[in-house]
Amino acid sequence: MRRKTLGARASRPLLVLTIDDCRLPIEEKAPGRPALAIASRPSAIGNQRGRGIPTLPAVIGVAFIFCSACVLTTAAPLGRSGGGNSAGLAIAAFNGQRAFSDIKHLVDFGPRPPGSKALADARRWIIGQLQEAGCEVEEDTFTGDTPLGPIPMTNVIAKIPGGSPNIIMLAGHYDTLRLETGHFVGANDGGSSAAFLLEMARLLAHRKNPVTYWLVFFDGEEALRQWSPTDSVYGSRHLAAKLAADGELSRIKAMILVDMIGDAHLDVYRDDTSTAWLRQMVIDSARRVGLGKYFEGPETPMDDDHRPFINAGVSAVDLIDFDSQNTFWHTPKDTLDKCSPQSLAIVGRVVSATLEELENSPHVK
């Protein structure tokens, strides 16, 4: 299995400027790695108080800095509104550091298997974050019929209205594996997907979206005893069946599932069970923004929360980095140090570019 470090793969320097709100980004640096990810905070320029009438050199200087920043914004791959679409509805820069902090918050709840108090606490926190971002939130509670008996489970759905009733669904799981032999906190497996969705919710909730977005946090992705078609993906099986029964499933025009995308050694697999056109759109978008090399992992079939939706006829893609199977996957070593803000930012950038493309595609319009 290929293992590559981000440092070796980072080819272009980061500079992102969001002109509309005049925020300059800060660079995120993990020890020993070049900066690659995206973050933002208020510009020092914007915060300076004027004192009297500015001199001509000062005016020229400010104009020069502004123009330089505009040029760099256009040139920097991570800073572009990558869709290349005509709508011009760029999604704001994904803050990898904030998503990484969210993983830490989730890990601090401890092991979060279905039905546990820790998962209920984590869910309350997730819902609070979504509401703070301005999202309308629904809890989809059901009973999972598991080999360990009936277990109460709850999917969390943030619904963000848009110009069209057609839905793009972003999804991931927030439960963690029930590991009886050790302390499993699932920083990457369960933590990174939930943290990723929270950050995307913040970005999409503050945008005028041309379509409706649903961000779905699945419960019960993990097997309770042994992964099988019936002992796995409880939350997504329940939701797909419920939406089909309610006649709402046909509104979902595309589903992007993320799983284990916080891995510091990012290598997203090309899942063979994903819908071909959608998987290709993600890869093309990644290449367009200069991040294609992170999405060229092994081509292999993956079983995950997209399965019930694929089976029901929904176009879906699973963005999953399964390289961790060789090292820390489903072991107590799945801790925060295995994740990085850079990986989250890369996936955030690529998913954002894909969304901008999707919104203008005949598949969704």
Nearer to Zn ion, 213 or 329 (CB): 329
Q: Residue 228 corresponds to which amino acid?
A: S
Query: Does residue number 227 form part of the binding site for ligand 1BN (CB under 6 A)?
Result: yes
Task: Please identify which residue in 138, 284, 296, 303 interacts with ligand 1BN, judged by CB under 6 A.
Answer: 303
Applying CB under 6 A, does 304 fall inside the site for ligand 1BN? yes
Which x/- pattern over 158-177 shows residues binding Zn ion (rule: CB under 5 A)? -------------------x
Q: Is 189 in the site for ligand 1BN (CB under 6 A)?
A: yes
Q: Which is nearer to ligand 1BN, 109 or 213 (CB)?
A: 109
With CB under 6 A as the contact rule, which of the stretches 19-27, 195-203, 270-278, 302-310 interacts with ligand 1BN? 302-310
The residue (of 165 and 182) whose beta carbon lies closer to ligand 1BN is 182
Please identify, among the stretches 11-19, 61-69, 154-162, 297-305, the one whose residues bind ligand 1BN according to the rule CB under 6 A.
297-305
Amino acid, res. 162? G
Nearer to ligand 1BN, 92 or 240 (CB): 240
Residue with smaller CB distance to Zn ion, 176 or 315? 176
Q: Which of 28, 140, 175, 189 binds Zn ion (CB under 5 A)?
A: 189
Give the one entry of Zn ion, ligand 1BN, none that residue 219 binds, where binding means its C-beta sits below a cut-off of 5 to 8 angstroms depending on kind: none
Between residues 167 and 302, which has the closer beta carbon with respect to Zn ion?
302
Asked if 323 is part of the footprint of ligand 1BN (rule: CB under 6 A), the reply reads: no
The contact mask relative to ligand 1BN for 246-285 (x = CB under 6 A, - = no) is -------------xx-------------------------
Which residues contribute to the site for ligand 1BN (CB under 6 A)? Answer: 189, 222, 227, 259-260, 302-304, 322
